[in-house]
Amino acid sequence: MNRPPPREIFRRATARIYCFADSPELCRRLLAAGAQVIQLRHKTASDAEFRDLALRMQELVRAREDALLIVNDRVNIALAIGADGVHVGQRDLDASEVVRRAPPGMVIGVSARTPEEARRAEAAGATYVGAGSVFPTATKADARVIGLEGLRRVVAAVRLPVVAIGGITQATVREVLAAGARLCAVISAVNQAPDPAEALRRLLAACAELPGDQGDERGRGGGQEGGVADREGGQGGRPAAGA
């Protein structure tokens, strides 16, 4: 199978829901339901356990030409296993350092609650920014809610694709995408549903007819294709949300 580079797979993704999994079985079920971007997020696993999970899930994802596995936070593990991507928060390793260490084509996501944080991520060379929390969320009770207006401000501030996150459900997914998000990152509404695969199918159906161009044209001029790394010649031509 001639698999495209991860950043190209991310750019081409048509499924508008960014998923999360903490086990190979859930990963398998979400892929079967139509997931194309899955983040491995497991806050309590040891590094050894996390690495094992990442390798097993990566094998499942790479059996497909149109799916990606993004590793949450653990940059060293993501780099060691050659993951498709990595996502870091504002309190994690600096985005510019992640970009410097990442191989060509790797997807790099950075959390950004404000336009200023989003612009810094773009300048550092991120592939996308994760903006939120859009709504209150039980997954992160202390998350600062930015609302739809805050999301719009982040979208307007950068040329990168924006992944919205935080309390998004089937009832709100369309308005979040209409606010300019390229993807919606959803944890609770999928992972805590009685049937996560069916919940994902319903979310995908709810946003299937919406335009998907946010970040496509805008992103071609930004991120690792046109950001600091390219201008400085360090990693030119290279292409990384919690809810």
Q: Known catalytic residues?
A: 41, 111, 140
Sign of the alpha-carbon torsion through 155, 157, 160, 164:
negative
Angle at the Cα of 141 from the Cα atoms of 138 and 143, rounded to 5 degrees: 115
The H or E element spanning position 147 is helix 147-157
Three-state secondary structure call for residue 185 = strand
Would you give the end-to-end CA distance of the chain in angstroms? 33
DSSP 148-162: HHHHHHHHHH-SS-E
Buried b (16+ CB within 10 A) or exposed e, 51-84: bebbbebbebbeeeebbbbbbbbbbebbbeeebb
